[in-house]
């Protein structure tokens, strides 16, 4: 039997969408949704590269055969789009301008046409393909909240009262704003201080950025797990953890926790029927440049520190959504750090896991993706050991 940590589980892929010209455009944060009839919908923000004199739009594609082939749908006039399905209905979080207002649209014809956007919450909110908690009475989704013009600085919990229409602003509410926590000195070596970016190409101006929160129900509690970019990726594999109190509508920072691939965007999948969690993330090989790649990697146009490597996309599993076991490598680019399989989105499709990757193949660097690729991990649950046997509870 092939070793899934050596032989990728889903290296073969189909292309759902590609940019018109990788020298002018890139895909920002594509998102995948599965309808109840098995139809797959991808919303892929298509952005012009800096200096390319190209605009922004939302590319929409659809597959009726499990992702083998894709059909273009009408492009939409939005900078962001995150489709999701509740009670069999296709909805989408959209933004005419990224990081500005929480807007909702709906479709009754499998994404062929959409309603006019309805602003249900005003304010500098943003998120992409991350986990949501859907309960009979409400949907919960933690969001990034900008503060004083600084993207991602705060976190809030957004709640939709499902007794009311998703297009009704009165059905939506937000919690308190949780500010960026203080970064403990022991979690960083300060290899890339804010006043010294000479060693980086397009490095982050901040020593700590948290963004793209996943919202998950664990043991009856709603928890939030947040990507943490520390010292320009030099401190890898950590996430920030928040806890939400439904009774008081209060969100609070709880701790930092070990998290494989926590330095890049990750996705948690709540496999409720099997009482399991699955997680997709990028693992890095040389986050603190112990191997001396610095000068060479910067000259290639690689963005950020060496820990911003995105060529290894891995699948993990857990029973407490905190301690993760490796299931295997989904896909990889062993031949160059400028290529990537990243920003995963996914949906459970029967016994398989269908994964959307924002993929750099012919792009200038590992960030500015030129493809949306689809990967299918067949019988994905067979990759997990039984972690409950021998425990203290059923």
Nearest to 372 by CA among 44, 58, 10, 127: 44
Residue the block writes with tokens 């070596």: 189
In eight-state DSSP terms, residue 382 is G
Q: Is residue 375's pLDDT more than 70?
A: yes
pLDDT at 80: 98
Domain membership of residue 209 (yes or no) is yes
Domain membership of residue 271 (yes or no) is yes
CA distance 259 to 278: 13
Confidence of residue 394 (pLDDT cuts 50, 70, 90): low
CB atoms within 10 A of CB 95: 21
Phi, psi of 262 (to 5 degrees): -65, -10
For 252-258, which contacts have Cβ atoms below 8 Å and span 24 or more sequence positions? 252/178, 253/155, 253/178, 253/181, 256/184, 256/187, 256/228, 257/225, 257/322
Instruction: Please report which residue ranges of the chain form alpha helices under DSSP H.
Output: 294-299
Q: Is residue 92's pLDDT more than 70?
A: yes
Contact 89, 106 (CB under 8 A): yes
Taking residues 206-221, report their average pLDDT.
96
Confidence of residue 187 (pLDDT cuts 50, 70, 90): very high
Q: In 3-state terms, what secondary structure has residue 385?
A: coil
What does R_g of the chain's alpha carbons equal in angstroms?
20
Domain membership of residue 205 (yes or no) is yes
pLDDT at 239: 98
Q: Is residue 67's pLDDT more than 90?
A: yes
Per-residue pLDDT tens over the stretch 16-59: 999 999 999 999 999 999 999 999 999 999 999 998 989 999 99
pLDDT at 149: 78
Q: Is residue 1's pLDDT more than 80?
A: no
Domain membership of residue 390 (yes or no) is no
Per-residue pLDDT tens over the stretch 146-164: 987 788 999 999 999 999 9
Contact 31, 357 (CB under 8 A): no
pLDDT at 298: 86
Higher pLDDT, 384 or 336: 384
Domain membership of residue 336 (yes or no) is yes
Confidence of residue 4 (pLDDT cuts 50, 70, 90): confident
130 is written with which tokens? 């991350």
Question: Helices (H) and strands (E) in the chain — how many of each?
Answer: 1, 26
Count Cα neighbours of 38 within 13 Å in the Cβ-side half-sphere: 9
Domain membership of residue 90 (yes or no) is no
Q: Is residue 393's pLDDT more than 80?
A: no
Domain membership of residue 132 (yes or no) is yes
Per-residue pLDDT tens over the stretch 283-322: 999 999 999 988 888 889 999 999 999 999 999 999 999 9
- The domain spanning residue 353 has which CATH number? 2.115.10
Domain membership of residue 11 (yes or no) is no
CB burial of 236-259 (b: ≥16 within 10 Å; e: otherwise) equals bbbbbbbebeeeeeebebeebeeb
Confidence of residue 102 (pLDDT cuts 50, 70, 90): very high
Q: Is residue 69's pLDDT more than 90?
A: yes
% residues pLDDT > 90 (the chain): 89
Residue the block writes with tokens 């894709």: 70
Mean pLDDT over each residue of the chain, to the nearest integer: 95
Domains: count for the chain: 1
pTM of the model: 0.97
Note down the domain range covering 187.
Answer: 124-383
């Amino acid at each position: 039997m092939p070793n899934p940590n050596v032989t990728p589980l889903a290296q073969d892929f189909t292309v759902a969408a590609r940019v018109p010209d990788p020298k002018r455009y890139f895909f920002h944060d594509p998102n995948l949704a599965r309808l109840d009839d098995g139809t797959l919908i991808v919303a892929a923000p298509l952005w012009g590269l800096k200096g390319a004199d190209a605009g922004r739009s939302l590319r929409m594609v659809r597959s009726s055969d499990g992702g083998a082939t894709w059909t273009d749908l009408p492009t939409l006039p939005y900078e962001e789009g995150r489709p999701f399905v509740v009670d069999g209905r296709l909805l989408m979080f959209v933004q005419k301008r990224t990081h500005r207002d929480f807007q909702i649209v709906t479709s009754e014809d499998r994404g062929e046409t959409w309603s006019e956007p309805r602003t249900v919450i005003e304010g500098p909110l943003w998120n992409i393909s991350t986990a949501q908690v859907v309960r009979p009475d409400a949907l919960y989704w933690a969001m990034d909240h900008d503060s004083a013009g600084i993207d991602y600085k705060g976190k809030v919990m957004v709640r939709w009262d499902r007794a009311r229409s998703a297009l009704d602003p009165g059905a939506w509410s937000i919690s308190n704003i949780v500010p960026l926590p203080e970064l403990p000195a022991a979690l960083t070596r300060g290899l890339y201080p804010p006043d010294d970016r000479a060693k980086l190409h397009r490095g982050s101006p901040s020593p700590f950025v948290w963004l793209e929160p996943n919202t998950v129900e664990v043991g009856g509690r709603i928890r939030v797990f947040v990507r943490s970019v520390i010292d320009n990726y030099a401190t890898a594999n950590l996430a920030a953890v928040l806890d939400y109190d439904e009774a008081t509508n209060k969100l609070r920072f709880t701790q930092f926790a070990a998290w494989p691939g926590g330095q890049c965007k990750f996705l948690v999948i709540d496999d409720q029927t099997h009482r399991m969690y699955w997680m997709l993330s990028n693992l890095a090989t040389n986050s603190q440049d112990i191997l001396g790649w610095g000068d060479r990697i910067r000259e290639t146009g690689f963005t950020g520190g060496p820990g911003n490597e995105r060529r290894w996309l891995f699948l993990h599993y857990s029973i407490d959504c905190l301690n993760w076991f490796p299931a295997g490598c989904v896909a990889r680019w062993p031949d160059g750090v400028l290529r990537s399989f990243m920003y995963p989105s996914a949906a459970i499709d029967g016994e398989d896991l269908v994964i959307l990757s924002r993929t750099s193949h012919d792009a200038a660097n590992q960030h500015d993706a030129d493809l949306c690729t689809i990967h299918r991990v067949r019988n994905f649950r067979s990759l997990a050991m039984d972690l409950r046997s021998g425990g203290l509870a059923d």
